[in-house]
Chains A and B, each alone.
Chain A
Amino acid sequence: MIPLIIVLLIVGVLYMALGEDLTRLARPRVRNYQIKYGKFVTPSVLIPTIAFGVLAILMRDLIITPFLLAVAGFIAWFRIQQAVKKAEKITARHILQLVLAFRAAYQLRPAVFDSLKEAASKIEGPLRDMANVVVETFFLTSSSQRAFMELRKRSSHVLIEQFAYILEMSESASDESMAEALDAFVTRLRHIEDLERQVETGLSSVTGQTSFMQILFLGVAFAVAIVPAFRSRYVGTAEDMVNFTGRLGYMVIMAAIIGTSYYIEQQVATLKEQVL
């Protein structure tokens, strides 16, 4: 108890000495992080983070509690990074939506940039911004070359390249050829989307098993933290606070479980990317 009071006192003195300056320094950064990552803080980020936070409080140990808090921080960071990647990723599904909307508009009025503008208004995500930039560049510069260059600059996705190619060729090709090329492209995109879905469904058994195991492990970890007889084996009793073997064992087991979960998730993600 006394070391804890000493630490709290040191923290208090430090806060009194530097608190105001630190707050001033940190506020804009915290605001930046809020703006940048706030929208990615979803239940899939919050639930495991809160679970590990609660676990850290329940363990109430000077070594294990900071360790579990660090794990909670790592999980939050990892999940947010996953969400950011997912939001930035352009999938075949997104491109298919754009191409379908474009084809519908182009059939009614065969003007590439007007149709693209209309198609962009019907989709969401990074592809919408990209399409809007292309349209705006064209209307500002009156150069289709410049407009498509902007599109290529923003993405190296081969399907987008192919779509840009169709749009570029529309200047020289007949309307029938254009319609035929768009139909063929839509068919290919549908096949790729089917493949994506097949992969998602096929790998759901692995991801499901992993989630089940993780929930089971969290249950066990909570049981250990709640039952005093179990907890004392890892953190020691009030009389015998020095139980390094127990603490080390607990941290090694935790690290092994979290490391394996992370590895499996990475493997599944790699498999998905390899396939698509």
Chain B
Amino acid sequence: MTVFIVLVAVVLVGAMAIPLTGLDYHIRRIMLFQRRRRAKAPTTTTPAVLSIFQKPKKVQVPLTDVRDLIISLQLGTSMESTLTGSLARAAEQFAGRGVLGERLQRHVEARLSISPEAVLEGLAEDLDCPQLDEVLERIRMAASGGVTYNRVLSVSAAAIEEDIRGQVEQRIQRAPIRLSPLMVAGVFFPALVLLMWPLVGSAVSQLR
């Protein structure tokens, strides 16, 4: 018993000493360093020889990112800027914002000199996002005449927002189905066990 008391006392003193001596700051720094190191660690890739036979995979991107991109383009075109200028600006804005930013920057560097449609085409090819294909269709229609880019992008942004709303509703509907069993198993059931254990224990000891 004394060993346990000493152990508990040591743990308590240690827990109090960490924030008071400033050791928590160093622990946080170490954790941050390790997190960054893990983030930078190279991921496993297919060997170059095999990758020739593989069809390039389309990357999934959050629809909210696509919506933000379209809104950026729409703002650009509404402010008397060209679609080319808006795309160049969006590439700067989205730099460092996941796969979408990275691919956008790459296509802007490589294809913007051809046409803005070519940039969007490249994005639609790379990313698994049917909404981008629709945007590209509309942009092509606008380029062939009749409608302004601003109007087209505004309609596209509204359509994407509707899609996001649908996804949100789905996720919200799924959340209770996914989390309720966990809640019952992890909170309600253990609480019941906490209450029942003494009752069952005393009943068993009485039977003996």
Interface residues of A (CB under 8 A from B): 3-4, 6-7, 10-11, 22, 25-26, 29-30, 33, 62-63, 66, 69-70, 73, 156, 158-159, 161-162, 165-166, 169, 172-174, 177-178, 180-181, 184-185, 188, 191, 195, 198-199, 202-203, 205-206, 209-210, 213-214, 216-217, 220-221, 223-224, 229-230, 232-234, 241-242, 249-250, 253, 256-257, 259-261, 263-264, 267-268, 271, 274-276
| Least CB distance, B177 to chain A, in whole angstroms | 10
Interface residues in B173-189 (C-beta closer than 8 Å to A): 173, 175-176, 179-180, 182-183, 185-188
- Give the number of residues in B that approach A within 8 Å (Cβ atoms): 61
Our pick among B154, B172, B186, B197 for the contact of A259 (Cβ within 8 Å) is: B186
Our pick among B19, B68, B78, B94 for the contact of A29 (Cβ within 8 Å) is: B19
Complex: A62 Cα to B7 Cα, angstroms: 10
Can you list 7 A-B pairs with a CB-CB distance of less than 8 A? A165-B76, A180-B78, A199-B172, A202-B175, A206-B175, A263-B182, A267-B175
Complex: A253 Cα to B198 Cα, angstroms: 13
Contacts A165-B75, A223-B195: A158 and B97 contacting too (C-beta < 8 A)?
A: yes
Complex: A250 Cα to B80 Cα, angstroms: 68
| Least CB distance, A192 to chain B, in whole angstroms | 8
| Least CB distance, A34 to chain B, in whole angstroms | 12
Our pick among A172, A209, A259, A261 for the contact of B180 (Cβ within 8 Å) is: A209
Further pairs besides A181-B78, A210-B187, A256-B190: 18, Cβ < 8 Å = A6-B5, A7-B9, A11-B9, A63-B4, A70-B15, A156-B97, A158-B72, A159-B68, A162-B71, A177-B79, A195-B168, A198-B172, A202-B168, A210-B179, A216-B191, A233-B201, A264-B183, A264-B186
Q: Is the CB of A62 within 8 A of B19?
A: no
In the complex formed, the residue of A with least CB distance to B188 is: A213
Contacts A29-B20, A158-B94: A213 and B89 contacting too (C-beta < 8 A)?
A: no
Q: Is the CB of B168 within 8 A of A199?
A: yes
Complex: A172 Cα to B1 Cα, angstroms: 79
Q: Is the CB of A271 within 8 A of B198?
A: no
In the complex, identify which listed stretch (B33-41, B115-123, B157-165) lies at the interface while the others stay far away.
B157-165
Q: Is the CB of A250 within 8 A of B194?
A: yes
Q: Is the CB of A230 within 8 A of B79?
A: no
A residues near B187, Cβ cutoff 8 Å: 210, 213-214, 216-217, 257, 260-261
Q: Is the CB of B190 within 8 A of A275?
A: no
Q: Is the CB of B20 within 8 A of A25?
A: yes
Complex: A104 Cα to B178 Cα, angstroms: 45
Q: Is the CB of B80 within 8 A of A184?
A: no
Q: Is the CB of B89 within 8 A of A165?
A: yes
CB of B8 within 8 Å of the partner chain: yes
Q: Is the CB of A257 within 8 A of B190?
A: yes
Complex: A241 Cα to B5 Cα, angstroms: 13
Q: Is the CB of B72 within 8 A of A73?
A: no
Complex: A233 Cα to B19 Cα, angstroms: 35
B residues near A33, Cβ cutoff 8 Å: 19
| Least CB distance, B1 to chain A, in whole angstroms | 6
Contacts A156-B97, A216-B191: A191 and B161 contacting too (C-beta < 8 A)?
A: yes
Residue from A70, A161, A203 having most chain B Cβ neighbours under 10 A: A161
Please report whether the interface of chain A is mostly helix, strand, loop or mixed according to DSSP: helix
Residue from A158, A205, A206, A213 having most chain B Cβ neighbours under 10 A: A158
Contacts A26-B20, A229-B202, A274-B62: A206 and B193 contacting too (C-beta < 8 A)?
A: no
Q: Contact string, B20-38, partner A, CB cutoff 8 A, digits 1/0?
A: 1110000000000000000
Our pick among B68, B80, B81, B197 for the contact of A233 (Cβ within 8 Å) is: B197
Contacts A172-B80, A233-B201: A253 and B20 contacting too (C-beta < 8 A)?
A: no
| Least CB distance, A152 to chain B, in whole angstroms | 9
| Least CB distance, B187 to chain A, in whole angstroms | 4
Complex: A199 Cα to B81 Cα, angstroms: 35
In the complex formed, the residue of A with least CB distance to B94 is: A158
Complex: A71 Cα to B138 Cα, angstroms: 57
Q: Is the CB of B154 within 8 A of A256?
A: no
Q: Is the CB of B5 within 8 A of A62?
A: yes
Our pick among B8, B64, B81, B171 for the contact of A62 (Cβ within 8 Å) is: B8
Q: Is the CB of A241 within 8 A of B68?
A: no
Residue from B96, B182, B188, B194 having most chain A Cβ neighbours under 10 A: B194
